[in-house]
Amino acid sequence: MAFIPLFFLAFLLQFCSSLSLFHHHPLDPLTPTELNQIKLIVDKSSIGSLPNLTYHFVDLEEPEKIDVLSWLSSKKTNKNAQFRRAKVVVRAGGETRELVVDLASGSIESNRVYTGHGYPPFTFNEFVKASRLPFQYPKFMKSIVNRGLNMSEVSCVPLTVGWYGEKVTKRTLRITCYYRGGSVNVYARPIEGISLFIDVDSMRITNYIDRFRVPVPKAEGTDFRSNKKIDPVTCNNATEKGFEIEGNNVKWGNWKFHVGFNARAGTVISTASIFDARMKKYRQVLYRGHVSETFVPYMDPESEWYFRTFMDIGEFGFGRSASTLQPLIDCPANAEYMDGYVAGADGQAMKMEKVICIFQRDAGDIAWRHAEINNPGTVIRSGQPEKTLVVRMIATVGNYDYVLDWEFKQFGTIKIGV
């Protein structure tokens, strides 16, 4: 190892701790450094020499609840290296593998080929590559021309195909296409009747259907864009933040909790506790909470629609689909933002900017109030306006924007809204 002057090392340590290389909580999400380290460990192992290695999911391998709670109660502030393990799902050599990678030792602790039902989520690279295939496909180009449409104004979207109990041996996507032609609202103008089936491993079109023709809905009136001038409603005190944030730990009023982020669930709230003034200690309210799945079955029996039974979290991922939040539109002026990190198809860390915002809100409600008229000679009116703390993210999956709010209330309840 090269000689490093001491003062530089001291600076480096300080710099790194501010980049949260020191984890403040065992459930802290994987940092970009850790994600890249995981990629290195896997790439250098025997798995790295298998053909077509792609990363489909990388997340913290969750430590045992008992260990997390004992770490928290021991008030240790040291680096919790013993908890830094990752769960990694890759495809390599035509197989799915589930790995557990230990970051402290830099080794793969467990490596097993998955042979059960289903496949890991497609990578975004696979979606993008698949969406381009129709544009080189003569039969499709002919169908577009026959409909009197302009090929340069077509957008194609690969969809997952659902599962109906059959034995599935191939990773498949089904492509549907839309006509922009004068509109930016792509999903408003489907080109019905056309389906392309993609075998994702070979990235080839395996079947093409042009079953019927119906007119494309008109472009007029489909523009959804808002006026450029933002006129935010200010029912919040724009200068009052009202909470403290250190790493991923948030403290607000009598609450303290941890905000994580991963590719699948997006926001993960952990170890939420509220201070009980009577007992003079924190009471645990929620150990770990996140959305598990979002199921979107269209229930239309037509052959072009029946298969649309999306699992928007398992197949696409709220985290991977998290939208960069727009200050003053998605979150008020007093909001603070958090970035997220996920692994790309090559395993490299990818930054997702401003995916979570946290802000205190004047609820417009009364926290409590009372008027007492039975004291001689005096009327007492008292009370307090309600404030809440919101942790928000927005996942944009296809044509849907899921606004996901975790709202903490002063009285110990958490309200979840989608």
Could you list the residues that contact ligand NAG (CB under 6 A)? Answer: 51-52, 93-94, 150, 152-153, 201-203, 237, 239-240
In contact, 357 and 335? CB cutoff 8 Å: yes
Closer CB to ligand NAG, 64 or 223, in the complex: 223
- Report how far residue 181's alpha carbon sits from residue 148's, in angstroms, rounded to the nearest whole number: 12
Question: Rounded to the nearest whole angstrom, what is the least distance from the CB of residue 52 to ligand NAG in the complex?
Answer: 4
Other beta carbons within 10 Å of 197: 16
- Report how far residue 171's alpha carbon sits from residue 175's, in angstroms, rounded to the nearest whole number: 13
In contact, 414 and 408? CB cutoff 8 Å: yes
Three-class SS of residue 319?
coil
Closer CB to ligand NAG, 232 or 297, in the complex: 232
Structure token digits, residue 399: 């044509």
> CA Rg, the chain, in Å?
26
Catalytic residues: 312, 400
Closer CB to ligand NAG, 46 or 413, in the complex: 46
The C-alpha angle with vertex 201 and arms to 90 and 296, in degrees rounded to 5, equals 75
Closer CB to ligand NAG, 152 or 382, in the complex: 152
Question: Rounded to the nearest whole angstrom, what is the least distance from the CB of residue 92 to ligand NAG in the complex?
Answer: 8
Three-class SS of residue 219?
coil
Structure token digits, residue 340: 């997220």
Structure token digits, residue 267: 């926001």
Closer CB to ligand NAG, 102 or 201, in the complex: 201
